[in-house]
Amino acid sequence: MAGRAVGKRKKLRIGWFTFTCCEGCATVFVELMNDHFKEWREQIDFRHCRILKSKNDMRGMDLAIVEGAIASKDDVDKLKTIRRNAKRVMIVGSCAINGMPAALRNNFDAKKMKEIQPILRKFGHLPKVEPVVKFIKVDSQVPGCPMSDKMFLAELGGYLAEFGVKSAPGE
Ligand code: SF4
């Protein structure tokens, strides 16, 4: 599949999206930039990345990267919008994959559950915090809490190759 040409170069158009979580996986991503930003600047068009810039646009993404669990109706709507705008979706970290540890409130006892009901109703929260995979199809997962940096680099390299931005390993 062809990537988008920017000037003479093709770049992978990516978005990074954070839902309910501690943002520890985003921190790993930022740490990786210390070593990789020079090459990524040539290879990646950061279309939507609030940790890097204030003006963002999620339309026409090649790859959306999602961290965090889904806690509200608004989250579900936004997640589905992301899926519609991205050719591929990669989820990173255990919160996105299985909900935990962001889904801690799912394990509250009956008394605590009752106490939080008014807050859940007021802010349109779901009865339970859910993993991303409950609502959309995803194309790949990077496990870990925080996410594995090695597996993230391998997955990203695969998408750079798939979209024709760089050669696949061994080519
Ligand atoms: S998986 Fe862990 S590090 Fe990543 S956002 Fe969730 S709690 Fe934070």
DSSP 47: E
In a mutational test of the pocket of ligand 1, which residue from 16, 19, 22 has the highest number of ligand atoms less than 8 Å from its CB? 22
What is the atom index within ligand 1 of the atom nearest the CA of 93? 1
Q: Residues enclosing ligand 1, CB less than 6 A? A: 21-25, 67-68, 93-95, 101-102, 145-147
Q: Are strands 4-6 and 9-18 parallel, antiparallel or unpaired?
A: antiparallel
Per-residue pLDDT of the chain (171 residues), as tens digits, is 444 444 445 899 999 999 999 999 999 999 999 999 999 999 999 999 999 999 999 999 999 999 999 999 999 999 999 999 999 999 999 999 999 999 999 999 999 999 999 999 999 999 999 999 999 999 999 999 999 999 999 999 999 999 999 876 656
Q: Whole-prediction pTM value? A: 0.92
Position in ligand 1 atom list of the atom nearest CA 21: 5
Q: How far is the CA of 102 from the centre of ligand 1 (A)?
A: 7
- Could you tell which of 16, 23, 100, 129 is best to mutate to test the pocket of ligand 1, judged by most ligand atoms within 8 Å of the CB? 23
How far is Cα 80 from Cα 76, in angstroms, rounded to an integer? 6
Q: Which of 23, 95, 132 to mutate to test the pocket of ligand 1 (most atoms within 8 A of CB)?
A: 95
Atom of ligand 1 nearest to the CA of 94: 1
Paired residues of 137 in beta bridges = none
Q: How far apart are the first and last CA of the chain?
A: 17
- All structural domains of the chain, each given as residue ranges with its CATH number in brackets, are 4-160 (3.40.50.700)
Sign for the CA dihedral angle at 57, 60, 65, 68 comes to: positive
**Token pair listed for 70:** 């889904």
Output the CA 27–ligand 1 centroid distance in Å: 10
